[in-house]
Amino acid sequence: MSLRKGQKVTVKGGRKSITCELTDIDHRTNKIWIRLPTNQVLLMGWDAKQEAYTASLAGLDFSVDPKDN
Amino acid sequence: MISHTDAMVDIETIATSNNAAIITIAAVRFDALNADKDMQELELLIDVDNVIDVWKLDVDPGTIDWWGRQSKEAQYAAFEKGPRITLDKALSKLAKFVGGATRLWCQGMNFDPVILDNAYRAVGQPSPWMYYNWRDSRTLMSFFKDLPKKSGTAHNAVDDAVWQAEMVQTCLKRLNVEYLR
């Protein structure tokens, strides 16, 4: 199932899952932007090995797996 | 001029570790033994990116998730309301505001004072208090089971600080305390 702008997504950070808003998606570069509850926007790039969008913040790894969303 | 003898301090963070990133700081100057005097309030809203990227303080996904489940009002005060300032500026302003207070109060000794001391250390500023200045309002409030319910927004630092200061005054009055060291 493909991700779409404005939908709620589950972001995994460490052992926790955080519900965030997907604020934008660029299919050409395969990047997504998600808004954390802290109002920060996180740019996530596609990681083919993990088959998930990933980014790091404050030394923590965050990921969005399209299969979970 | 701030003449009150007491200061209540309350912070909101995005982690619960000793080096947690602070996002809001509230302080209230008040007189613990005199509820008739007006309180003076300070609210410091901190730039979240500054705390994380510049000062490298801790972020905890569990706490971020917890914030996502709080009221819209609490989230607005914690993350959207402005203007936001850098952590070092906020700590300087807090130091000025609490300067001269004989007693500093917090709701539990192992959270706010510890995190604030570590934040002062991180930005290279001295803590504006000595460890013996701190008093614990949570312990004082635990003596009574019928204290008034908190008004205002839960987890809004200013609302929390004001309510905690009022409860300190209430508790001390009920205990007939006339002198406080």
Read off the pLDDT of each residue in B68-97 and give the average, rounded to a whole number.
95
Q: Which tokens in the block code for residue B120?
A: 């002062």
Tell whether B12 is within 8 A of chain A (Cβ): no
pLDDT string in tens for chain A (69-residue length): 588 999 999 999 988 899 999 999 999 999 999 999 998 899 999 999 999 999 998 888 999 999 988
- pLDDT of amino acid A58: 87
The nearest CA of chain A is from the CA of B63 a distance in Å of 9
What residue of A is the nearest CA neighbor of B13? A38
| pLDDT score of B1 more than 70 | no
Chain-chain contact of A58 with B64 (C-beta, under 8 angstroms): no
pLDDT in tens, B93-119: 999 999 999 999 999 999 999 999 999
| pLDDT score of B126 more than 90 | yes
What residues 19-78 of chain B have any CB closer than 8 A to a CB of chain A? 21, 23, 48-49, 52, 56-59, 61-62, 64-65, 67-68, 75, 78
Q: pLDDT band at B2, cuts 50/70/90?
A: low
Chain B residues with CB under 8 Å of A58 CB are 21, 52, 56-59
Chain-chain contact of B64 with A37 (C-beta, under 8 angstroms): yes
